[in-house]
Amino acid sequence: MAVHSKLDFVVDRFRPDVAIIPECAEEGILRRKAGPRMPDCSMAWIGEDPNKGLGVFGFGSYSVSLASCYDDRLQLIAPVEVDGPHPFALLAVWAKNHRAKRQHPELGSIPQPAAAAPLYRPWFSGRNLVVAGDFNHNVAWDRPRATIRNHANTISAWESLGLRSCYHSFTGEAQGLETIPTIYWRDRTEDGPTYHIDFAFLPDRWIRALRDLEIGTFQEWVATKLSDHVPMLIDLDDELVDAAADGG
């Protein structure tokens, strides 16, 4: 929350091309509250509460816009057109999963980030696709008798389309055995409870261009009360991305 008081810090700290920020006010409210602190950016936003939705930001040579195919039956999953030196389709996620107020009538039984795969496939087919954000899920919570709701469905849905998790590809850790948390839940203390629930799935050819991956620290983000989540920064080598586009 209170993204208006933090966005300039995020930009100064990371200099991102694209940022996905849940619990974000819609653009008019955000710009009014931020005032002169508002960075120069484009913004796509979805949500029912104008003070608490899902925001996607484009900076510098990158711009973002909500795709015309957006279907609000999947709550807080935004198809976003990202234009810039390396354009791509982005599915930004702040997943409500089975707790969502609305469910797609045909896809409502599976986690919403998994349901987004068949729903938006005509839009992203044949394009570079990134699926990233707060998934509110982890295979550590999967249940043998509730397989249709399990996070493993989300992983397999995107892996079947050639996408891989950046964190797991970079660290070599297994799903469900992550050693670095992305949320310091409830107590907001360093020693628990903590979970890894934020993910980014990229095409195989972009995974090979992954230069660095940084997870924010408790001291910088949680102890200072910026957020109970810590950010994930993904850095790709532009030359390798270009080579992948050329078939190299």
Task: Identify the CA nearest to 133 among candidates 16, 54, 49, 247.
Answer: 54
Strand 129-134 to 88-94 pairing: parallel
Provide the pLDDT confidence category of residue 227 given band limits of 50, 70 and 90. Answer: very high
The answer, yes or no, to whether residue 30 has pLDDT greater than 80, is yes
Chain-wide mean pLDDT for the chain? 93
Using CA atoms, how far residue 113 sits from 54, 100, 136, 165, 217, in Å, is 14, 12, 10, 13, 26
Per-residue pLDDT at 172: 98
Report percent pLDDT > 70 for the chain: 93
- What one-character DSSP code corresponds to residue 127? S
pLDDT at site 196: 98
Residue 101's pLDDT band (boundaries 50, 70, 90)?
A: low
The pLDDT of residue 105: 60
Q: For residue 73, what pLDDT is reported?
A: 85
Q: What angle do CA 64, 66, 71 make, to 5 degrees?
A: 155
Q: Closest Cα partner for 44 from 23, 19, 65, 68?
A: 65
Which residues lie across from 18 on neighbouring strands? 58
The b-or-e profile of 134-152 (16+ CB within 10 A means b, else e) is bbbbbbeebeeeeeebbbb
Please check the confidence at residue 114 and state whether its pLDDT lies above 80: yes
Task: Give the predicted TM-score (pTM) of the model.
Answer: 0.94
Task: List all residues 6 or more positions away from 71 whose beta carbon is below 8 Å from its beta carbon.
Answer: 104, 119, 120
Residue with tokens 């068949």: 118
Domains of the chain as residue ranges with CATH? 3-245 (3.60.10.10)
For the segment 220-235, the average pLDDT, to the nearest whole number, is 96
Average of per-residue pLDDT across 221-229: 95
